Structure 1
Amino acid sequence: MEYVRYGSKLLVRLDPGEEVLASLTSVCRKGNIALGSISGIGAVNKAKVGLFNPTTKNYHSTTFEGNFEVTGLSGNVSQMNGEVYLHLHATLADGEHNAFGGHLNEAWVSATAEICIDVVNGTVGRKFNEAIGLNLLEF
């Protein structure tokens, strides 16, 4: 992994074998990034993607293995209990150009990932909301 900061933006390159969420969490910790938005593209060979069911308040996750293009990675950086909290969604495309996506739980880079973190000066926390069943932004 390598990254460089230009003003309020960080450009991150992930290399084969690196896990996306762990790598971005590390970058945010090292850079003292408490709030921001994330966007990116890349290629992965394993990803765990989830869908939240508001009725049951549970995530259903599926692990996909194979070669996939990350055609869209988006999300945000916030804080929960003083720690970096990433909320990411991804759209993945397979070899037949079928696309699927959802909440990104993990993804392993197969070739590269190119990610931009747009840092916002400030801090926003998260708090678990029992009625909804999710960790919501707390302003």
Structure 2
Amino acid sequence: MEYRKFDNIIIARIDKGEEILEQLKAIAITENIKLASINALGAINDFTVGVYKTDEKKYYSNSFKGYYEITSLTGTINTMDGEYYAHLHLSAGNEKGEVFGGHLNRAVVSATCELVITVIDGKVDRVYDEETGLNVFNF
């Protein structure tokens, strides 16, 4: 992985075999990012995404292997109890044009991933919400 910073924008290249969430966390910690917006595209061959069932307050995961193009990867970096926290969603399409997605748990790059981090001057922490069972923004 390599990246370059331009004012409040970080442009990163995540390389073949690297896991996207691990590399994002490394950048965020190195650059001391407390709040940011994430967008990316690229190619992956091993990923896991989840769907949250609100009535059960539980995530269900689906894993995929093969040739996939990231059609959308978006989310946020912020903090929970003052520590790094990321929340990302991913959609990826296969050679048939079928798209699968959800809450990103893991994604391994098969060729490259072009990541754009827009750092926001501020801080938003998260707090556990009893009603939904989720970690939500706490303003």
Question: What TM-score, normalized to structure 2?
Answer: 0.98
Task: Write the distance in 1 (CA, Å) between the matches of 2:72 and 2:10.
Answer: 17
Task: Write the distance in 1 (CA, Å) between the matches of 2:12 and 2:136.
Answer: 26
Runs of 4+ that moved beyond 4 A: none
What are the ranges of 5 or more consecutive residues in structure 1 without an aligned counterpart? none
| Deviations 1:74-99 (CA, angstroms, capped at 9, x unpaired) | 00011012221110001100111111
Q: Write the mapping of 1:100-139 to structure 2, written as runs, cut at 5 A.
A: 100-139=100-139
What are the ranges of 5 or more consecutive residues in structure 2 without an aligned counterpart? none
Opposite residue 39 of structure 1, the aligned amino acid is N
| Deviations 1:84-117 (CA, angstroms, capped at 9, x unpaired) | 1110001100111111211101100010000100
Q: Residue 32 of structure 1 aligns with which residue?
A: 32
1:91 and 2:91 equivalent?
A: yes
Q: Write the mapping of 1:12-31 to structure 2, written as runs, cut at 5 A.
A: 12-31=12-31
CA RMSD, aligned part only? 0.6
Identity of aligned residues (%): 42
Task: Write the distance in 1 (CA, Å) between the matches of 2:87 and 2:123.
Answer: 15
Opposite residue 55 of structure 1, the aligned amino acid is D
What secondary structure sits across from 1:114 in the alignment? strand
Count of residues paired in the alignment: 139
Question: What TM-score, normalized to structure 1?
Answer: 0.98
